[in-house]
Chain A
Amino acid sequence: MATTRDPLATRALVERTAAPEGGEAVASRGIWRVILDVFLQNRLAVVGVGIVVFFLLFCFVGPLIYRTTQVVTNLTLIHLAPSSQHLLGTDADGYDELGRLMVGGQTSLEVGLAAAVVATLWGTLWGAVAGFVGGAVDAVMMRIVDSVLAIPPIFLLLFLATAFTPSVSMLIFVVAFVSWVIPARLVRGESLSLRSRDFILAVRGMGSRDRRLVLRHILPNAVGPMIVYATFAVADAILLVAALSFLGLGIPPPAANWGEMLSNGLNYIADGWWWLVYPAGLCIVLVVVAFNFIGDALRDAVEVRLQRR
């Protein structure tokens, strides 16, 4: 999608969160305080943080309390309805469903967070360099971004996932590969506008090298929008991983993730085994909604930085 303008949504984001003049980042402790206040005023965001904290505890602390076997299958215990023994029943391999939600959630959250961080960092660097260097280099770099952006993500994912053996690090790489392009566009716009600012000229006049300019002066100014983007990216990554699992390209057992559990459970929709159909889906929806709430609130909060200027 080659546009001379950025996509409307992203452009609005860039404009709203346009960085302050250089130097302000240093004296901005007060501003971060304001951002935190605005963020906390947003009730949905607080709910979102609550959900995320709950699921972090559920997935990483939960297994220490609710002990289950998630490696060895037990075919005498398959498809059991919820009971006091197995609070959410068991699945087709005899795994305890509640315990598996905890273990599977670890993978889903890890992949989601890691893919978002990798994509955001790589995209940010790419965009900063493109916008800063400008000219032909910029044109080529951004056409690459446009090309990746034009390929529907699921098509690209299917493509990549058939190429690489499924594993956690492969999933992180594959999901990051389809999502680094949006931060690249955002930061490129930012970097382009920063390039002509006086403080960059001043730093350059002091004899700073390009690499230092990009790393120390361009990138810090893009931190706000990037944190916002990364939050949304976690939500998207969790959904993408789930979709991949449904398409049969997830991580093979005994490893688990919510998408995998959900797509396996959906085979039993006609059997009325609701504990295999709804809990995993609910976990995905709750976590994704939570990250979207947080992202929305962060966007509003970062916007405040502008208004208070």
Chain B
Amino acid sequence: MFAYLVRRVGQAMAVVIGVSIIVFFLMHLLPGGERALLGARATPVQVHAFVVANGLNHPIWVQYVDYMGQLLHGNLGYSYHYNESVNSLLAANIPKSALLVGVSVVIALLIALPLGVIQAVRRNSPVDYVFTGASFVGYSMPVFWLGIVLIGWFALDLHWFPAEAPQGAGVGAAFSQPRAMVLPVATLVVVNVALFSRYVRSAALDNLVQDYIRTARAKGIPERVVLLRHMLRNSLIPVVTILGLSMPFIFSGALIVESVFNYPGMGLLFWNAAQIHDYPILVGGTLVVSTAAVVGSLLADLAYAALDPRVRYV
């Protein structure tokens, strides 16, 4: 197990370095970034001064080594546009995104787990067909369309919830306006329930035909206990893995939800940065989000190894 842990962490670090190389080179191969940033009226002298000040005149691999050196000191760079360090921008925005994603994933799991189990137990019944169909539709819907249709119904027509997410700095703003959080969270929940419930259903189906379920039933254990204590617990193991692996997709959904509801988190910051070619934010943001995804999948893998006694790694 220890050797597995070491190898697995080593791989994760290699992936983070790989991400940094891909992101950095993609970004700096783009032509004319400084021109787009400084505007058409900047004089050649000003452009040159900017290029020199930001070290853009060095060969790209020198720039990369410099960047990584700074990164190891915990410095993600300095935003061109906001005149603020990327660290402080991310520190201000990440907690809000983490709140949005965290709350939606937890709610989605609370819905998807019982739903998937019911579907598996009632396999090929009308209940199963209805929910399977619904999850296909939820999975196939453009996230932004869902978000805006929800705004149309619940904010504009019924006036139940505000159309815009809580504004204002810090996580506190979200707590002071819980009603404004409902629609953004609901949008992400729908998408994630559709994703998770399909996996829970298939995991539950795999477990239902196992011998240990038959044994439990033969011992006269009530069906409810068989399902909850025996089957559900074992079905959770693959769901943990899926959760870890779905991180990049969940973050993607969150970015779109943030721009639909003008939720001032990481995704909105990133999207704005893409519009104004603010490279340090784009590189730093992608690195942080991807690292979070790598760590998520690492934890999921380790949890898998810890939860399932049949899994032995050497």
A residues neighboring B (CB under 8 Å): 1-5, 7-9, 143-144, 146-156, 158-160, 162-163, 235, 239, 242-243, 246-248, 259, 262-263, 266, 269-270, 277, 281, 284-285, 288-289, 292-293
Instruction: Tell me the smallest distance from the CB of B304 to a CB of chain A, in Å.
Output: 8
**CB atoms of B238 and A8 under 8 A apart:** yes
Contacts of A149 in B (CB 8 A): 248
Complex partner residue of A243 from B15, B142, B275, CB under 8 angstroms: B142
B14's partner among A143, A151, A247 (CB-CB below 8 A) is A143
In the A-B complex, the 7 residue pairs with the smallest Cβ-Cβ separation, listed nearest first, are: A147-B18, A2-B11, A288-B140, A154-B252, A152-B248, A1-B297, A152-B251
Is there a chain A Cβ closer than 8 Å to B99's Cβ? no
A266 touches B275 (CB 8 A): no
Q: Can you sample 8 A-B contacts with CB below 8 Å?
A: A3-B11, A144-B22, A158-B271, A235-B140, A269-B152, A269-B156, A281-B142, A284-B142
List B contacts of A281 (CB < 8 A): 141-142, 145, 149
CB under 8 Å from chain A, chain B span 227-246: 238, 241-242, 244-245
Neighbour of A155 across the interface among B15, B139, B251, CB < 8 A: B251
- Given A9-B242, A143-B11, is A152 in contact with B143 using a C-beta cutoff of 8 Å? no
Q: Which of A163, A243, A266 contacts B143 (CB 8 A)?
A: A243
Q: Residue among A152, A163, A263 with the most chain B CB within 10 A?
A: A152
Interface string of B132-162 (1 = CB under 8 A from A): 0000110111111100110110001000000
Q: Kindly list chain A residues whose C-beta atoms are within 8 Å of the C-beta of B8.
A: 2-4
Determine whether the beta carbon of A153 is less than 8 Å from that of B290: no
Residues A292 and B140 in contact, CB atoms below 8 Å apart: yes
Q: How many A-B residue pairs have CB under 8 A?
A: 171
CA distance A3 to B296 in the complex (A): 12
Which of B23-31, B70-78, B207-215 is found at the contact surface with chain A?
B23-31
Are A242 and B255 in touch, CB under 8 angstroms?
A: no
> Is A1 a contact of B148 with CB atoms below 8 Å?
no
Residues of chain A within 8 A of B85, CB atoms compared: none
**B139: which A residues are within 8 A, CB to CB?**
292
* Shortest distance between the CB of A43 and any CB in chain B (Å): 10
Residues of A within 8 A of B286 (CB): 151, 155-156, 159
Q: Given A146-B15, A147-B15, A262-B145, does the pair A155, B289 have CB atoms closer than 8 Å?
A: yes
Interface majority SS on B: helix, strand, loop or mixed? helix
Q: A3-B301, A151-B290 are in contact. Are A146 and B18 (CB under 8 A)?
A: yes
Distance between Cα atoms of A73 and B26 in the complex (Å): 37
Given contacts A151-B290, A152-B252, A155-B285, contact A243 B18 (CB under 8 A): no
A285-B140, A289-B137 are contacts. A2–B12 as well, Cβ < 8 Å? yes
Q: How far is the CA of A217 from the CA of B19 in the complex (A)?
A: 33
- Decide yes or no whether B127 CB sits under 8 A from chain A: no
Q: How far is the CB of A168 from chain B (nearest CB, A)?
A: 19
Asked whether B199 is an interface residue with its Cβ less than 8 Å from the other chain, the reply is: yes
Task: Answer whether A163 and B26 are a contact pair too, CB < 8 Å, given A143-B14, A146-B15.
Answer: yes
Query: Which of B151, B241, B245, B294 sits near A269, CB closer than 8 Å?
Result: B151
Complex-state Cα separation, A8 to B144, whole angstroms:
28
Note all chain B residues with C-beta closer than 8 A to A7. 241-242, 245
Contact B142 A292 (CB under 8 A): no
CA distance A3 to B247 in the complex (A): 14
Q: List, in ascending order, chain B residues with CB within 8 A of A289's CB.
A: 136-137, 140
Q: Mark B62-86, 1 if CB is under 8 A from A, else 0.
A: 0000000000000000000000000
Tell me the minimal C-beta distance from B160 to chain A in angstroms.
16
Q: Which residue of A lies closest to B4 (CB)?
A: A4
Q: Would A270 and B152 be within 8 Å (CB), given that A2-B294, A3-B297, A146-B11 are in contact?
A: yes
Knowing that A154-B251, A288-B140 are A-B contacts, what are 13 other residue pairs whose CB atoms are under 8 Å apart, sorted by A's residue number? Answer: A1-B297, A2-B15, A2-B297, A9-B199, A150-B19, A151-B23, A153-B249, A154-B255, A158-B282, A159-B23, A243-B144, A247-B256, A263-B144
Q: Is B259 an interface residue (CB 8 A)?
A: yes
User: Is the pair B277, A162 in contact by a Cβ cutoff of 8 Å?
Assistant: yes
Give the Cβ gap from A63 to chain B, nearest Cβ, in Å.
Answer: 24
With contacts A4-B8, A242-B142, A243-B143 known, is A269 near B148, CB below 8 A?
yes
Expressed in whole angstroms, the Cα–Cα distance for A1 and B271 within the complex equals: 24
Set of chain B residues within 8 Å of A163, measured between Cβ atoms: 26, 29-30
Residues of B within 8 A of A160 (CB): 26
Q: Given A2-B11, A246-B142, check contact A8 B241 (CB 8 Å).
A: yes
